[in-house]
A and B are shown apart, each in its own frame.
Chain A
Amino acid sequence: GEDVEQSLFLSVREGDSSVINCTYTDSSSTYLYWYKQEPGAGLQLLTYIFSNMDMKQDQRLTVLLNKKDKHLSLRIADTQTGDSAIYFCALSGGYQKVTFGTGTKLQVIP
């Protein structure tokens, strides 16, 4: 099955950019998602990218997809303390399946 890997932890200073990375093994996904989980809450969709795209920008968020290297990244510009959360990448496997990464905990230092 699909393996989706993320580093477990990232610490950045407020105002800096954060880059959260995700690598995967199966290249057949149509949709690649980024979800955010705040403490005590469920996951919320942040953004997503179609597999035929290389980049998508949405305000402070930039998603980059490198299909050759099977690498997905999420860049958060001007990171704020409110961005502190766990971030999950998730890859679609058709209508029945979505595989989540292990999650990256982002800590923003004031």
Chain B
Amino acid sequence: EAQVTQNPRYLITVTGKKLTVTCSQNMNHEYMSWYRQDPGLGLRQIYYSMNVEVTDKGDVPEGYKVSRKEKRNFPLILESPSPNQTSLYFCASSSQGFGNSPLHFGNGTRLTVT
């Protein structure tokens, strides 16, 4: 089954404790992206990647890191989480670019930073 898999689904952590949210897709998509969803703000892009070893900042990259060492994986790293990073996070992939073909989303990771 074609899918984007994120882990974990729920995560509660404390300020400053490094964490990684994993994302994997099995559709051989070149384009992958991370979004955060906040009430009243819709989805905002954090980082995106157009291929292996090619990543770039989205609209709200501060406090986040990503890597793309393999085509299927695109982890999101929070080196020193803060409470303003409490949010619902989605990973997405696309076959022909984010605007030129539909996005396939994971089921989300709800992060709480205390």
Interface residues of A (CB under 8 A from B): 1, 4, 6, 8, 29-31, 33, 35, 40-45, 48, 88, 91-98, 100-103
> Is A98 a contact of B41 with CB atoms below 8 Å?
no
> Is A43 a contact of B99 with CB atoms below 8 Å?
no
- Say what secondary structure dominates the interface of chain A: loop
> Is B42 a contact of A100 with CB atoms below 8 Å?
yes
| Shortest Cβ distance from A96 into B: residue | B98
CA A42 – CA B89 in complex, angstroms?
Answer: 9
Chain B residues within 8 Å of A31, by CB: 99-100
> Is B105 a contact of A96 with CB atoms below 8 Å?
no
Number of B interface residues in the complex (CB < 8 A): 26
Given known pairs A40-B107, A43-B103, A101-B42, the reply for A96 and B4 (CB within 8 Å) is no
Contact with A95, one of B4, B44, B100 (Cβ below 8 angstroms): B100
CA A95 – CA B97 in complex, angstroms?
Answer: 4
CB-CB nearest 10 A-B residue pairs: A95-B97, A92-B99, A42-B105, A100-B43, A45-B102, A102-B42, A100-B42, A98-B98, A43-B105, A98-B99
> Is B108 a contact of A42 with CB atoms below 8 Å?
yes
- Least Cβ distance of A15 to chain B in Å? 29
Counting residue pairs across A and B whose Cβ atoms lie within 8 Å, the total is 69
> Is B43 a contact of A96 with CB atoms below 8 Å?
no
| Shortest Cβ distance from A29 into B: residue | B99
- Least Cβ distance of A25 to chain B in Å? 14
Is residue B47 contacting chain A, with contact meaning CB distance below 8 A? no
CA A48 – CA B94 in complex, angstroms?
Answer: 15
